[in-house]
């Protein structure tokens, strides 16, 4: 686990019992892993091996050396694994930042240089920002965005941020100290900050801490209230504050307050983010939210990537982690540098493809030996395979609603013995429903009676004909295409 973020640990509980190998990571990564397990109620016991960012150890007889990198999770690292023909190096998520003097976020150029004295057989680097020009730094910093509000605000300043962005949390603390602000926080946020202090990741000077009991005794312009949380749970917490539903009645918003959402949302939670912003505006306070274009994610851009490529000068290069277009941009960047990389030794691969390094050190993609890879739905509680049909049906459920009709028949008596019960959800108002309900029910009865009168009752055929007729009827009448589910129970 190269750093303490959820994408490093999210899948682990679902396959760990099938592959119970030791898990290597820093104490900060262990905190993330356990928090993720508790949050989602996973009962998994890991064989966890705590390491530092400069650890060296053996796995299966191979020397493994770590080197510290700069990312928005404290104490991130890259990995070097020695094999007979040289080392395999993985960068982890990183940026090149020479300005930081915080030991938790150092880009250890000396350690990287020492490793580069060894021959590098294969280098793997992240690709999430490989198509962005220049260096990431200093576009990743919160300070310039937040400082004007902390310096000039005449009321309270609320800041909401992801607890996984420990780099940003430390920036907020530093700004509060520099501007002589008092920091207040909810009970949940205090627990996170206490844990980060225990891990040596961040620390708030005692003179800058405002206890909950003293909130009404502090001048509003001297106060910053911090909310930390995880993904959509952070936005849920902020929404409760905006709606006045927090259990802590000392926490509320008023028009003289400024609320800053300092964590741009990921693609999967943009709807939660938008709904939260709307609720904040309804309170009358000043709302500030940072956009992705304003605050760069701490991922390697072109110049960040070029630096590692130039230092390691690998025999083979494998871009990893990112959309195919990002992998391709990373590969094109590498082959343009005149360091011996070209289309024969730079690989762009998709999930399931196999890169084989033979005993003689020659690497190649094995043709026709793809590992069976399928899309899975992970909802935090379980995992299931998801095909296109399931996705389409869920889309229809959300947009066009559902029709469910059920009855009981006697195959031996060839008759319907229970009156059909039809329910419609998600696409028709109650006052419009009765005529349509009656028509759908009549179609169901008609098709059932036809099927029962035939020499051999074919339930599947009856259901398919019914679904087709109902879809056409509803599409004609109200221009909707709902999911139709007929249920036919049989008794002797």
DSSP string, 352-386: T--EEE-TTS-EEEPTT-------EEE-SS-EEE-
DSSP code at position 222: G
Give yes or no for residue 140 having a pLDDT over 70. yes
Task: Return the pLDDT at 376.
Answer: 66
Quote the CA–CA distance of 326 and 314 in Å, as a whole number: 20
| Structural domains for the chain | 52-136+297-375 (3.60.15.10), 143-289 (3.40.50.10710), 387-491 (3.10.20.580)
Burial of 109 (0-12, 13-18, 19+ CB in 10 A): middle
- Angle, helices 166-178 vs 187-198, to 10°: value is 100
Quote the CA–CA distance of 121 and 87 in Å, as a whole number: 5
Cα separations in angstroms, 366 against 111, 343, 361 = 34, 16, 15
Which of 486, 485, 488, 482 is CA-nearest to residue 433? 482
Q: What angle do CA 74, 78, 83 make, to 5 degrees?
A: 155
Task: Return the pLDDT at 467.
Answer: 92
Strands 76-83 and 62-69: antiparallel
Quote the CA–CA distance of 345 and 171 in Å, as a whole number: 41
Contact 149/142 with Cβ under 8 angstroms? no
- Report, as an integer, the average pLDDT of 87-108: 94
Q: What is the value of pTM for the model shown?
A: 0.76
Task: Return the pLDDT at 390.
Answer: 62
Cα separations in angstroms, 27 against 48, 105, 201 = 10, 15, 10
pLDDT tens, residue by residue, 243-272: 988 877 788 999 999 999 998 888 778 888
Task: Return the pLDDT at 351.
Answer: 84
Quote the CA–CA distance of 353 and 70 in Å, as a whole number: 30
Longest Cα–Cα distance of the chain, Å, equals 88
pLDDT tens, residue by residue, 266-299: 877 888 899 999 999 999 999 999 988 899 999 9
Contact 288/177 with Cβ under 8 angstroms? no
Which of 119, 104, 158, 165 is CA-nearest to residue 140? 165
Of all residues in the chain, what percent carry a pLDDT higher than 90? Answer: 60
């Amino acid at each position: 686990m190269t750093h303490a973020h959820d994408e490093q640990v999210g899948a682990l509980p679902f396959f760990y019992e099938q592959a119970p190998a030791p898990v290597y990571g820093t104490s900060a990564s262990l905190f993330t892993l356990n928090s993720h397990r508790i949050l989602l109620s996973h009962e998994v016991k890991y064989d966890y091996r705590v390491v530092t960012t400069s650890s060296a150890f053996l796995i299966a007889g191979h020397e493994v050396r770590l080197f510290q990198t700069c990312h928005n999770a404290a104490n991130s690292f890259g990995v070097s694994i020695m094999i007979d023909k040289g080392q395999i190096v993985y960068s982890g998520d990183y940026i090149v930042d020479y300005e930081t003097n915080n030991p938790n976020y150092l880009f250890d150029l000396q350690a990287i240089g020492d490793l580069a004295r060894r021959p590098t057989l294969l280098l793997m680097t992240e690709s999430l920002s490989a198509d962005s020009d220049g260096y990431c730094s200093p576009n990743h910093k919160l300070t310039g965005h937040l400082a004007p509000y902390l310096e000039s605000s005449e009321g309270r300043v609320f800041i909401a941020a992801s607890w996984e962005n420990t780099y940003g949390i430390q920036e907020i603390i530093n700004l509060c100290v520099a501007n002589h602000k008092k920091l207040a926080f909810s009970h949940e946020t205090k627990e996170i900050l206490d844990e980060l202090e225990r891990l040596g990741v961040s620390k708030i000077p005692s003179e800058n801490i405002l206890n909950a009991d003293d909130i009404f005794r502090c001048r509003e312009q001297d106060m910053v209230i911090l909310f930390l949380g995880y993904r959509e749970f952070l936005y849920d917490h902020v929404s409760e504050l905006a709606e006045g539903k927090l259990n802590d009645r000392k926490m509320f918003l008023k028009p003289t307050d400024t609320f800053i959402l300092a964590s741009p949302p990921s693609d999967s939670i943009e709807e939660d983010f938008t709904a939260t912003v709307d609720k904040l505006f309804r309170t009358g306070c000043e709302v500030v939210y940072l956009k992705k274009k304003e605050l760069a994610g701490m991922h390697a851009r072109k110049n960040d990537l070029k630096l590692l490529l130039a230092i390691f000068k690998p025999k083979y290069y494998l871009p990893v982690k990112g959309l195919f277009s990002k992998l391709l941009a990373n590969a094109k960047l590498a082959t343009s540098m005149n360091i011996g990389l070209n289309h024969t030794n730079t690989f762009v691969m998709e999930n399931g493809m196999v890169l084989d390094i033979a005993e003689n050190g020659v690497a190649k993609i094995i043709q026709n030996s793809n590992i069976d890879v399928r899309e899975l739905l992970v909802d935090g509680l379980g995992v299931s395979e998801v095909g296109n049909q399931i996705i389409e049906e869920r889309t229809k459920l959300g947009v066009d609603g559902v029709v469910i009709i059920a009855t009981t028949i006697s195959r031996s008596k060839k008759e319907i013995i229970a009156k059909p019960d039809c329910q419609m959800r998600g696409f028709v108002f109650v006052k419009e429903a009765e005529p349509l309900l009656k028509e759908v029910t009549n179609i169901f009865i008609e098709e059932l009676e036809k099927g029962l009168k035939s020499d051999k009752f074919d339930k599947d055929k009856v259901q398919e004909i019914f679904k087709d007729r109902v879809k056409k009827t509803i599409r004609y009448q109200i221009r909707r295409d709902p999911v139709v589910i007929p249920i036919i129970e049989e008794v002797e």
